[in-house]
Structure 1
Amino acid sequence: MQQLIQLIMVVVILLITGCDKTPPNQLEKIKQKQVIKVGTLVGPSNYFQSQRAEQGFEYELSQHFAQYLGVHLQIVPFFSLTELFERLNSGDLDLAASGLSYHPLREYRFGPSYRTVSQKLVYKQGRVRPRSFADIDAPIIVIEGSNHALSLEKIQYEYPSLEWQTTNNLDEEELLQAIIDEEIDFTIADSHTLALFRRYHPNVSIGFSVTQTDHVAWALRDDHDDSLYALLMPFFESMNNSETLYALEEKYFGHINEFNYVNTLAFVEASNDTLPKYRAWFEEYAGELDWRLLAALSYQESMWNPRAKSPTGVRGIMMLTQPTAKQVGVTNRLKPEQNIRGGAKYLQKLIKRIPKNISQPDRTWFALASYNVGWGHVNDARKITKQQNSDPDSWAEVKKRLPLLIKKRYYRKTRYGYARGDVAIQYVDNIRRYYDALIWLDENGALNTSSDK
């Protein structure tokens, strides 16, 4: 009997202590599992699988947050915004990191804003440009549950006859493609998504801005659990203070801020009409380089014109100087095969010259800038960057200092003196845009592969 009483007391004590135990909060659950689950929409500005690895602005930003927490990242990709929100609501995700902008009608907790975008009314070049919703004469198609749909709900009060529909079957890039294919007449896209898409589809045009400044932030469930939410502010503060956030912005969006319709259209046309004549040589002599990078460099230099010539005597499809041509074994700069082989060899030499502690893709961007203004001037800009207590091995940081080489108070203290560093920045940005476009065109089977050398 005594043993039975003792057993009952033990059970009661366990029940009492069990009742007093507070269930773990969200952060504690993450720490226990050593994994944070982040949902994102698949796309070029969020998350995508390249031939080498997973990439994307939101993906890398989430990686940094996982490291900040001391846990592993589990990225959960979605093709539907509705499904993303459903999984977030169910508790299956810790947060949504997908370029989402704050809206007061959304029943979520948004972290600190780390980017701003604007919503653009989009149509295909060739139709009369709409300058307001009063000019819209066909339905606007937007993604179900998106901020674009919320904007249209509000605008409907001012324009009651406005026609618009939502879809859950297409993502933002597919809607833009539907504009190109003339399957729909109008859609609304965020400015950064549109800028990425227009690199290879210049016929997508902007009618007008629907919003001016939307604040992009991560979304969490509004369940009164502050444990994870409370860490977002110090995390983004550390990302800003270390300029890591700026470096990520530059990596994915720094080269797409400017858009020129005529130049982009000419590039896309030349990719199909002119590039096939020389593609085999770009592929043959690229070596460890991506042949599409070599081709992008060549287009920036000569627009794939084998007889191109500058006033300073630089010549050929890769625009080699006479001393450089001699250095890389080119005897006739007007012969495109020789010139491509020499340009590839020279770029490879430049990349090898970049300090080994500089990682990719920054090594390539430094090398491209050196192809334009010379490694000496680029290294001068790195020294200025270091003097200003920033990272000389970061292209994002050195990019800010290269324009200083046109100012006497800076270049007079450098080894190699004056240089058009501002031109070098534009030069690298252009090549990165062309390179991005060639990757997309190639991987989507949109490049003409027939050659006629």
Structure 2
Amino acid sequence: MLTLICRHFVRRASAYYALIAITLLVMVPTLSLVPPGEHLARISAKDFITVHTRNTPTTYYEGRHGPTGFEYELMHRFADYLGVSLNLDASHHPESVLPAVRENGDIGAAALPLLPGTPGIHYTRPIIQMQPLVVYRRGLNGIQAAGDLVGLELATLSEAGTGEALRDLQRQYPELSWKESHELEVAELLSRVEDGTLDAAVIFEHQFRLNRLFFPNVERGFTLGDPLSMAWALPSGRGLGLLEAANRFLRDLHESGTLDRLVSRYFGHDDYLEYVGTRTFLEHLDERLHRYTDLFKQSAKETGFDWQLLAAVGYQESHWDPEAVSPTGVRGLMMLTNPTASEMGISNRRDAAQSIDGGARYLRSIKDRLPDSITGDDRLYMAMASYNVGLGHLYDARKIAEMRGGDPDSWADVRVALPLLQQREWHSQTRHGYARGGEPVIYVRNIRRYYEMIQYVERSRQQFFQLEQTPVNEDPLLLFDLVPPLN
């Protein structure tokens, strides 16, 4: 309708009104000189939609149980909405996404900031807000305000949107300088802050929330400037059908509350790997573990694991809560996905007995699939790491360990290599790409701590039980070692 009105003005109005109409054509992105459904028709004809994205935790990556990521889920849902398959090109950095969209289509979905007026690009309606955030190396004092950034080794990603906030700040502080990288990703920036190569970096707040546990020496600083809007990018000049369909899809997600739930699932939980303190753990052990001890012992007999180790895995996964649901949708005491539950013959993931049985057998199957060259505790720790991150990423980490001159059969060397899967320099050389490689390292460390604590408590209980069984006529002082008096 708007297109027809503008054409009418061009034909019938004076030159002055024609100029106004042409201006409207430039300003309003819903106008086009090609058939409105051309782009959408091409996608329907080829039966798939190509999405240009990035291999990062906030966009797309191969997770513990297959492809995942906030924008991956959105794009997968959108492909289903259109009734076509999803074809991903995840080889991009922010700087390369828009050129690929202009040249090849169909959509760019890579934590892109909505920047009106970008040549050759139409943006969808906003998806979420992205707040630029300053992070800095722990130990640097006085990083409290924007002026404190002057003189620091500061960096951000090029074309990610965070540079705009720094350029705005530079008008107030002309001496401010920073570096922009078109090769690094967020995890690599944080790694450089962690190791002292950089003093500070500017990323988005939700990116820091997902990565903070892996970089304990990086502090959250302060927000910088106004939030930007994340949007999808589409090529202009190919009709407006796809843009209109995307906007309808995003509007429906928003109005139904689905978008808010997805944001909460991916960005609202950043404490999954936090180590629970001794007091909380002992409270849970006293209140919950006894309900499932027999189940852990039965599964231990069938799989050859120590029941206390299985209990430690269960605590890390769910805090022994059979109703638990993770941010990514896995559920139950041992946090099984639907595919894993199906593979293990589990019909009800919320049934504690089935969950423990399925989780124990799944861990056993992973351990059995590891190469025979991995032995002892190394084999156990790598099996637990694979339970968290997947066998494919573990094999990638073993490859990196070997490339670095380490032993791919040693957990000590693989443990160092796993976090490198977060860095483009390394994950680009692997089969399965990006992974939150710091996560399985923390995961295994936590389980080992819980395992030691369960063992300690169980030993203490057994000793106490033995004391209670001591005959009353036996001298209780004989139960203690005699300490001679000081001379």
TM-score, normalization: structure 1?
0.59
1:167 aligns with 2:181: yes
Match for residue 42 of structure 1 among 55, 69, 73:
55
Q: Is 2:110 the counterpart of 1:113?
A: no
SS at match of 2:166: helix
Q: Which moved more, 1:338-347 or 1:96-105?
A: 338-347
What is the match of residue 437 of structure 2? 440
2:173 maps to 1:176: no
SS in 1 for 2:241: coil
The answer as to whether partners of 2:55 and 2:90 remain within 8 angstroms in 1 is yes
Code of the aligned partner of 1:364: R
Q: Does the residue aligned with 1:247 lie in a helix, a strand or coil? A: helix
Whichever residue aligns with residue 213 of structure 2, its letter is: R
User: Relative to 1, partners in 2 of residues 1:366 and 1:206: Cα closer, same or farther, differing over 3 Å?
Assistant: same
Name which of 253, 276, 280 aligns with 1:300.
276
Contact 1:41/1:47, CA 8 A, preserved across alignment: yes
Structure 1 equivalent of residue 105 of structure 2: 93
Deviation string 1:169-192 (CA, Å, 9 cap, x unpaired) is 211221111111111112100011
Q: Does residue 76 in structure 1 map to residue 89 in structure 2? A: yes
Alpha-carbon offset, residue 211 of structure 1:
2.5
Q: Give the AA of the match of 1:187.
A: A
Shift of 1:244: 2.9
Equivalent of 1:53, from 66, 90, 98? 66
Assess if the C-alpha contact under 8 Å between 1:351 and 1:364 holds in 2. no
Q: Which amino acid aligns with 2:42?
A: K
Letter in structure 2 aligned against 1:143:
L
Structure 2 Cα separation of the partners of residues 60 and 169 of structure 1: 25
| 2:254 alignment partner AA | N
| Matched pairs, number | 315
Deviation readout 1:179-232 (Å, 9 max, x if unpaired) = 111111121000110100102223211222112422211122343732211112
For the Cα contact (< 8 Å) 1:320–1:339, is it kept in 2?
A: no
Return the offset for 1:162: 0.6
Equivalences for residues 207-246 of structure 1 within 5 A: 207-223=221-237, 225-246=239-260
SS of structure 1 residue aligned to 2:216: coil
Work out the CA distance in 2 between the residues paired with 1:243 and 1:220: 25
Q: Say yes or no: does 1:103 pair with 2:70.
A: no
SS of the equivalent of 1:364 reads: coil
For 1:366 and 1:214, the matched residues in 2 are separated by 39
Q: Is the 8 A contact 2:314 2:334 kept in 1?
A: no
AA aligned to 1:42 is: N
From 142, 153, 159, the equivalent of 1:145 is 159
Q: Does residue 123 of the first structure (1) align with residue 120 of the second (2)?
A: no
Give the conservation status (yes or no) of the 8 Å contact 1:65–1:235: yes
Tell me how far 1:253 sits from its aligned partner.
1.6
**Counterparts of 2:312 and 2:146, CA distance in 1:** 51
Corresponding residue for residue 254 of structure 1: 268
Any stretches of 5+ residues in structure 2 without a counterpart? 1-33, 299-304, 336-349, 352-387, 390-417, 420-435, 453-487
Q: Does the CA contact (< 8 Å) of 1:350 and 1:367 recur in 2?
A: no
DSSP 3-state at the match of 2:176: coil
Alpha-carbon distance in structure 2 between the residues aligned to 1:123 and 1:254: 22
CA distance in 2, matches of 1:363, 1:450: 22
> Matched residue of 1:114: which SS?
coil
Q: Contact 2:38/2:238 (CA < 8 Å) preserved in 1? A: no
Q: 1:106 to 1:148 in 2, by over 3 A?
A: farther
Report whether the alignment pairs 1:199 with 2:213: yes
1:320-331 superposed matches below 5 A? 320-322=288-290, 324-325=292-293
Match of 1:30 in 2: 43
Aligned counterparts of 1:450 and 1:347: Cα–Cα separation in 2: 10
Mark the CA change 1:315 to 1:29 in structure 2 (over 3 Å): closer, same or farther.
closer
Residue number in structure 2 paired with 1:64: 77
Partner of 2:464: none
State how far apart, in whole Å, the 2-side matches of 1:360 and 1:134 are: 37
Structure 1 position 246, deviation (Å): 2.9
CA distance in 1, matches of 2:182, 2:329: 38
Given candidates 331, 347, 364, the residue that maps to 2:331 is 364
In the alignment, is the contact (CA less than 8 A) between 1:139 and 1:162 conserved in 2? no
Secondary structure at 1:156 match in 2: helix
Equivalent residue letter for 2:46: K
Q: Secondary structure at the match of 1:182?
A: coil
User: Residues 24 and 362 of structure 1: is their aligned pair in 2 closer, same or farther, counting only changes over 3 Å?
Assistant: closer
Residue identity opposite 2:114 in structure 1: Y
**Residue deviations 1:125-183 (CA, integer Å, cap 9, x gap):** 11113222321222421212221122222222211111112111211221111111111
Secondary structure of the residue aligned to 2:437 is helix
Preserved contact between residue 98 and residue 233 of structure 2 (Cα < 8 Å): no
8 Å Cα contact 1:441-1:447 kept in structure 2? no
Letter in 1 for 2:82: L
Q: 1:354·1:367 contact (CA, 8 Å) conserved in 2?
A: no
User: Take 2:142 and 2:437, find their aligned partners in 1: how far apart are those partners?
Assistant: 27
Q: CA deviation at 1:41?
A: 1.2
